[in-house]
Chain A
Amino acid sequence: MPLQSRHLLGLEGMRRDDIQLILDTAVSFREVLDRPIKKVPPLQGKTIANLFFENSTRTRLSFELAERRLSADVLGFAATGSSVSKGETLKDTARNIEAMKVDMVVMRHSASGAPHYLSRVIDANVINAGDGTHEHPTQGLLDMFTIRERLGRLEGLHVCIVGDIAHSRVARSNIFGLLTMGAKVSVCGPATMIPREIERLGVAVHHHIDDVLPHVHALNVLRIQLERDAGRLFPGTREYHLQYGITRARLEKAGREITILHPGPINRDVEISADVADAEQSVILQQVLNGVAIRMAVLYLLSTRN
């Protein structure tokens, strides 16, 4: 059964079967990435525009690589130095790019809901590569794929997301996706970083990391935005590390093997200690590799959906 929507805007409300289909399809593309020639032809003749209105390195590179490995033609676009700085509206920018016969648009934007708006004004398939503090669906999917690859399932697992939940689109996509797949989700962080009434989504809230660690199978450690939040949402990086940093000692006290995820880029010895980031139980680099496979799966499923 094909995906329900012709766009990928978020994991909120996505059917369980659709998530399952994307994760299963990504297994086949993960195999392609191990081949001597890491390129397959299904998107030959398709053109994909990557519209990054907000800075991004790894997500943009990951999408670009996924597109090229499917043999699509790729158009790059960065907001700085483009017509956007001359005052063009989002709609006009997108329409101009679409006039060049683009089949799919991958967009990152600082405004929540920007890709949803775009999907209503252009004909191309739209993929959300991160919108404001709303969603980052391919990150949520690759996190689920990586957990499933490591632990063999999602149903019944307990995943805790640690950090600035309030400003994190990664957290939201993880929460929606994991709950749909039957996992238990909790969030942990200082009160300034936990949105009010987040319990209504169906997640448990913790403020002490040591309380929750003995119960979790996987931890998704979010990046602390040092440049933006130090002194505002928490007193300082040392204080944060003492209270919420994922350290070897903490994990040993929890008494169980916990899989560690991080969407990157990591701040060593702030949200995660250097030895944990490099430990065998950390799947951070697998996430990067799996991200390409997940994006290939999404692009493939949307473009062959017809």
Chain B
Amino acid sequence: MFSAFGDRNKTELRMRKLKAQIIDDAGFDRTVTRLAHEILERNKGAASIVIVGIRTRGEFIARRIAKTIEQVENVTLPIGSLDITLYRDDLLGKLEQPQLKGTDILFDLTGKDVILIDDVLYTGRTIRAALDELIDLGRPRTIQLAVLVDRGHRQLPIRADYVGKNIPTMASESIRVHVREVDGEDAVLLMHPEEDD
């Protein structure tokens, strides 16, 4: 079944062929660096910024962006991760039970500018869930969304404030983001539609 929550969980088990590598190792670093600078420029520094990554891949991209900001501004940023599973809108009807990985935000969000970070923006449903969860955790001054890839096909009125790369896709294709910490390499890959067996 097609999942609006991204391609990772189920379809990664099935075979898809690589169509194109969109971002390579060096490009990945440059994109992260640019996103970090855009965030700093828009917020006029890092004073009120906190960083929240959506598990799993968003968490690692969040750490990279935070590290760059910390180096440029010579500050230490509060950084947390969000597991949106309990806030999904398809939880009671899914074929596979998603495993809880836990939300880990050990600081107060109230009055802060929360930079919410994910790897791929697609239907917008993950972000809707993340917004609901963040607001249950506190009352941020702003929530700003940064994504590595925007692949289109939104099903909800949601947009990103910072986009690493816009990649026009067909809904049947998939985008796969690899990060060094999990996959051993940094890359963004466009995959062909699933093949029928």
Q: Which residues of A contact B (CB under 8 A)?
A: 2, 24-25, 27-28, 31-32, 35-37, 39-43, 45-46, 300-301, 303-306
Contacts and interface: CB of A to CB of B under 8 A. Distances in A.
Contact of B138 (A28, A36, A39, A40): A36
Contacts of B100: 24-25, 28
Query: Binding site of A, secondary structure by majority: helix, strand, loop or mixed?
Result: loop
B94 interface: yes
Contacts of B97: 2, 301, 304-306
Contact of A39 (B88, B99, B104, B136): B136
Contacts of B45: none
Interface in B109-139: 132-133, 136-138
24 contacts: A25-B100, A27-B102, A28-B83, A28-B86, A28-B101, A28-B102, A31-B102, A32-B86, A32-B103, A35-B137, A37-B136, A40-B86, A40-B87, A40-B133, A41-B132, A42-B85, A42-B86, A42-B88, A46-B92, A303-B92, A304-B94, A304-B97, A305-B97, A306-B93
Contacts of A40: 86-87, 133, 136
A304 B91 contact: yes
Given A2-B97, A35-B136, A42 B103 contact: no
A304 B98 CA distance: 9
Interface string B128-166: 000011001110000000000000000000000000000
Interface of B: 83, 85-88, 91-104, 132-133, 136-138
Contacts of B137: 35-37
A75 to B, nearest CB: 19
Q: Which of B93, B95, B100, B102 has the most CB of A within 10 A?
A: B100
Contact of B103 (A31, A43, A300, A303): A31
Contacts of B98: 304
Contact of B91 (A25, A31, A35, A42): A42
B127 to A, nearest CB: 16
A39 B94 CA distance: 22
Nearest to B95: A306
A31 B104 contact: yes
Nearest to B136: A37
Contacts of B136: 35-37, 39-40
A27 to B, nearest CB: 6
A28 B103 contact: yes
Nearest to A26: B100
Given A28-B100, A28-B101, A31-B103, A45 B138 contact: no
Contacts of A305: 97
Please name the 10 residue pairs, one residue from A and one from B, whose CB atoms are nearest each other, closest first. A28-B100, A40-B86, A28-B102, A37-B136, A2-B97, A42-B86, A42-B91, A25-B100, A304-B97, A304-B91
Given A35-B137, A304-B98, 17 more contacts: A25-B100, A27-B102, A28-B100, A28-B102, A32-B86, A32-B103, A36-B137, A36-B138, A37-B136, A40-B86, A40-B87, A40-B136, A42-B86, A42-B92, A43-B92, A306-B92, A306-B97
